Amino acid sequence: MSKPGALAQLLAWRRQVGRTLNLMVGMPEYDNYVAHMQKSHPDQRVMSYEEFFRERQEARYGGKGRVGRCC
C-alpha cells in the first residue's frame, strides 16, 4: 500500500469514526444540514458551524436557562 493511499484511508476512517460518534450522541452532521438548507430553503440563511452546534446542543440538553435533569 502506498503512503498517500494509506493516508487517504486513515483520513476516511477518521471521518467515519467522527460521524459515528456524533450520531451516537445525537449530533447530526453539519454538512447534511447545509445541503438540506440549500436544497429546501435557499432563501434562508445557513447557520455557521458554531451556531449549528450550539443550537443542536440546546435542543438536545436544554438551554436558555432550562436545566435538564433525569432525577
Residue pLDDT, tens place only, 32-67: 889 999 999 999 999 999 999 888 888 877 766 555
Measured at the alpha carbon of residue 18, what is the angle toward residues 14 and 22, in degrees to the nearest 5?
170
Residue with the three cell numbers 436544497: 39
Instruction: Report the pLDDT value the prediction gives residue 3, as an integer from 0 to 100.
Output: 72
Task: Report the C-alpha gap between 2 and 69 in whole angstroms.
Answer: 51
Overall residue count recorded for the chain in this entry: 71
User: How far apart, in whole angstroms, are the C-alpha atoms of residue 37 and residue 46?
Assistant: 7
Contact 11, 18 (CB under 8 A): no
Mean pLDDT of 11-27: 82
Considering 16-25, 26-35, 43-52, the range whose residues carry the highest mean pLDDT is: 43-52
* pTM greater than 0.75 (yes/no): no
